[in-house]
């Protein structure tokens, strides 16, 4: 099944493919919410802008999110105060609160009908032991002088909690309807949008850049890499600084009256709740089952886990959509926004938005656009993309190094413990044939799809995701469907296909 947002949109966010060479002021690589928001602000300021998107607009991370617009990014402010300082935490909070207002201003100014509604956002716990963490977060946020926060023990959820931290006046919307409105404004201000257009490289030449697609080029003074995961490996080295997390979402018709508010619990296993509108009625979105992309999930059936959760409270509910998504997470949990690298002036990036892409992408768009316009942005220091601060998350950094070494070298030498006959229908695995690793998937009828299970990004050995029937990369999170088609970056090339049953 496809994302609820994609299913519920009666319009296709598809534009022409780029078929000629072009010249523009700003070339934006990626048509998710960050790239489109940059294009929106820039075209309003009179810049010529070209967006190049590999798929359709908003079809990947933006269209697979839960679309909560909130300053609450988990229990984060206590972490920020302890890891940085109070000013840093306060500025981070202010930047996010401003982003909520900015999004509302855009919606009002452009008259975008996107089911935007203010909602309170809650981080809750049902465990007595975790209550102290919630209370610590409440004290941290109060110490920043934020008035819209309170500790509560009662919520609209259909089960009891021990306590929650509530941020008032947060919001939710339909992300693709929002992108439709932005795209309408961009094109009416002479911005150009191309979809089904894959960028394969960007090169600096004198004082401009050439962005290469498969068959054409775009020449521009500025480039913004808005492709979720920065795919240009050197310089930038973003593949050493971030990992990706996959999570799963279901949309449920509960056949009951639903609550108000947006919710997420504070510790694993994560469950996130919000409501959404479908044909005048409210449906429930539940997300969770998070795991590092390319690593085995601890829940064999992640969608089943979510469905069971829904059935506990709404026994007659019906699942109407299910989908997975993934997010880039930096090692210090702060997004990277600003110059792509110190040696590439006028090339910008916004990435590592964790699971909070709507406020983060608006902040990032404002920072990048201000840089292009030559304005100072008071929040840019928070997200400095070229920072070389000591990495605080040493454990995760070690994990990345060990995982990359294993997937690049050691796992490739290991003999797979499966053989062809042991692979069940509707499942996949890596086997060895004549000393070569082969990725095999057998569909429900036993039809065979055989691919080279080596990631086309930097060559790591892929792993099989039995929940989504995809080949996932444990190194930097690229994903490929069982036919070998690339569905998520940083890789942009498909897998080599060895064999497909006809």
Secondary structure percentages of the chain, helix, strand, coil, to 5: 25, 30, 40
Alpha-carbon span 109 to 97, nearest angstrom? 19
Q: How many CA atoms lie within 13 A of 133 on its CB side?
A: 15
* Interface residue with ligand FES, options 31, 181, 350, 490 (CB under 6 A): 490
Report the nearest approach of ligand FES to the CB of residue 385 (Å): 19
Token pair, residue 456, equals 């086309």
Burial (0-12, 13-18, 19+ Cβ within 10 Å), 240: middle
Q: Which part of the chain contacts ligand FES (CB under 6 A), choosing from 14-22, 77-85, 170-178, 458-466?
A: 458-466
As a whole number of angstroms, the longest Cα–Cα distance in the chain is 66
Among 478, 482, 484, 492, binds ligand FES (CB under 6 A): 478
- In sequence order, the 6+-apart residues with CB closer than 8 A to the CB of 281 are 253
CA distance 484 to 502: 15
Among 149, 334, 473, 495, binds ligand FES (CB under 6 A): 473
- Taking Cα atoms as reference points, which of 214, 275, 276 lies closest to residue 493? 214
Q: How far apart are CA 133 and CA 388, in angstroms?
A: 30
Count CB-CB contacts under 10 A for residue 145: 10
Identity of the residue, 386 or 404, whose beta carbon is nearer to ligand FES in the bound complex: 404
In whole angstroms, how close is the CB of 454 to ligand FES at the nearest point? 9
Rule CB under 6 A: is residue 60 a binding residue for ligand FES? no
Q: What are phi and psi of 51, to 5 degrees?
A: -100, 130
Selected binder of ligand FES within 99, 180, 276, 491 (CB under 6 A): 491
Among 262, 286, 455, 461, which residue interacts with ligand FES (rule: CB under 6 A)?
455
- Return the range that interacts with ligand FES (CB under 6 A); candidates 8-16, 138-146, 347-355, 456-464: 456-464
Let me know: does 450 contact 440? Beta carbons within 8 Å.
Answer: yes
From the list 95-103, 325-333, 418-426, 472-480, the region that binds ligand FES by CB under 6 A is: 472-480
Q: Residue 352 corresponds to which tokens in the numbers above?
A: 């590592």
Q: How far is the CB of 379 from ligand FES (least distance, A)?
A: 30
Enter the tokens of residue 59.
Answer: 């079809």
- 487 scored as a contact of ligand FES (CB under 6 A): no
Q: How many CB atoms lie within 10 A of CB 48?
A: 18
Q: Which helix (H) or strand (E) holds 420?
A: none
Q: Which residues contact 379 (CB under 8 A, 6 or more apart)?
A: 91, 94, 95, 363, 366, 367
How far, in Å, CA of 356 to CA of 70, rounded? 7
Answer for which of 114, 329, 460, 495 binds ligand FES (CB under 6 A) is 460
In this structure, what DSSP letter does residue 461 have?
B
Question: Which CB, 42 or 232, lies closer to ligand FES?
Answer: 232
Query: Is 117 in contact with 172 (CB distance < 8 Å)?
Result: yes
- Name residues contacting ligand FES, limited to 203-262 (CB under 6 A): 239
Say how far apart CA 466 and CA 443 lie, in whole Å. 11
Check binding of 495 to ligand FES (CB under 6 A). no
Judged by beta carbon, residue 365 or residue 460, the one nearer ligand FES is 460
CA distance 463 to 475: 10
From candidates 152, 210, 270, 458, binder to ligand FES by CB under 6 A: 458
Note whether 451 binds ligand FES by CB under 6 A.
no
CA angle centred on 492, ends 491 and 497, rounded to 5°:
90
**Helical axes 131-143 vs 86-110, angle rounded to 10°:** 80
Stretch that binds ligand FES, among 99-107, 118-126, 269-277, 455-463 (CB under 6 A): 455-463
**Between 297 and 478, whose beta carbon lies closer to ligand FES?**
478
Stretch that binds ligand FES, among 116-124, 258-266, 417-425, 457-465 (CB under 6 A): 457-465
Q: How many residues bind ligand FES (CB under 6 A)?
A: 13
Stretch that binds ligand FES, among 75-83, 104-112, 172-180, 474-482 (CB under 6 A): 474-482
368 or 491: CB nearest ligand FES:
491
State the pairing for strand pair 49-52/192-194: parallel
Which one among 27, 476, 484, 486 touches ligand FES, defined by CB under 6 A? 476
Does residue 400 interact with ligand FES by CB under 6 A? Answer: no
Q: Which range, of 78-86, 198-206, 310-318, 468-476, touches ligand FES by CB under 6 A?
A: 468-476
Residue of the chain from 475, 481, 482, 495 that contacts ligand FES (CB under 6 A): 475
Return the range that interacts with ligand FES (CB under 6 A); candidates 121-129, 164-172, 385-393, 475-483: 475-483
Under the binding rule (CB under 6 A), the answer on residue 430 touching ligand FES is: no
Rule CB under 6 A: choose which of 457, 470, 482, 495 binds ligand FES.
Answer: 457
Identify whether the C-beta of residue 48 lies closer than 8 Å to the C-beta of residue 24.
yes
Cβ distance to ligand FES smaller for residue 60 or 476:
476
Contact set with ligand FES (CB under 6 A) = 239, 455, 457-460, 473, 475-478, 490-491
């Amino acid at each position: 099944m496809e994302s609820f947002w994609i299913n519920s949109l009666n319009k296709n966010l598809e534009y022409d493919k780029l078929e000629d060479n072009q010249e523009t002021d700003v070339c934006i690589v990626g048509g998710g919410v960050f790239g489109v928001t940059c294009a929106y602000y820039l075209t309003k300021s009179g810049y010529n802008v070209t967006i190049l998107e590999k798929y359709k607009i908003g079809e990947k991370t933006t269209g697979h999110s839960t679309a909560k617009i909130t300053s609450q990014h988990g229990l984060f402010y206590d972490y920020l105060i302890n890891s940085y300082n109070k000013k840093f935490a306060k500025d981070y909070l202010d930047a996010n609160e401003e982003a909520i207002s900015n999004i509302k201003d855009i919606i009002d100014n452009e008259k975008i009908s996107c089911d935007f509604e203010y909602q309170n956002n809650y981080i809750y716990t049902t465990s007595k032991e975790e209550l102290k963490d919630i209370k610590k977060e409440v004290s941290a946020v109060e110490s920043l002088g934020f008035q819209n926060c309170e500790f509560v023990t009662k919520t609209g959820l259909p089960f009891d909690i021990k306590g929650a931290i509530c941020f008032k006046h947060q919001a939710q919307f339909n992300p693709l309807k929002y992108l439709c409105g932005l795209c309408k404004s961009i094109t009416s201000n002479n911005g150009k949008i191309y979809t089904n257009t894959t960028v394969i490289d960007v090169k600096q030449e004198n004082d401009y850049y050439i962005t290469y697609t498969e068959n054409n080029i775009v020449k521009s003074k500025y480039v913004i890499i808005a492709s979720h995961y920065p795919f240009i490996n050197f310089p930038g080295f973003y593949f050493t600084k971030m990992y990706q997390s996959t999570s799963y979402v279901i949309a449920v018709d509960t056949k009951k009256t639903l609550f108000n508010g947006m919710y997420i619990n504070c510790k694993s296993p994560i469950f996130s709740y919000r409501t959404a509108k479908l044909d005048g009625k409210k449906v429930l979105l539940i997300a969770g089952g998070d795991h590092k992309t390319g690593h085995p999930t601890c829940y064999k059936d992640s969608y089943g886990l979510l469905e069971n959760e829904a059935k506990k409270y709404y026994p007659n509910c019906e699942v109407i959509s299910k989908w997975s998504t993934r997010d880039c997470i930096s090692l210090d949990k702060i997004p990277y926004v600003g110059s792509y690298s110190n040696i590439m002036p006028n090339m910008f990036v916004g990435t590592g938005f964790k699971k909070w892409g709507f406020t983060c992408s608006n902040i990032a768009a404002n920072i990048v656009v201000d840089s292009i316009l030559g304005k100072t942005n008071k929040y840019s220091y928070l997200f400095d993309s070229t920072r070389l601060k000591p990495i605080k998350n040493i454990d995760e950094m070690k994990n990345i190094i060990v995982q990359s070494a294993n997937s690049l070298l050691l796992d490739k030498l290991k003999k797979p413990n499966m053989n062809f006959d042991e692979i069940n229908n509707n499942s996949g695995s890596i086997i060895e044939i004549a000393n070569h690793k082969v990725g095999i998937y057998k569909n429900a009828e036993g039809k065979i799809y055989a691919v080279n299970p080596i990631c086309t990004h930097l060559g790591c050995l892929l792993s099989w995701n039995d929940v989504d029937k995809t080949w996932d990369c444990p190194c930097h999170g690229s994903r490929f469907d069982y036919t070998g088609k690339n569905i998520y970056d940083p890789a942009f090339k498909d897998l080599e296909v060895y064999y497909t049953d006809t």
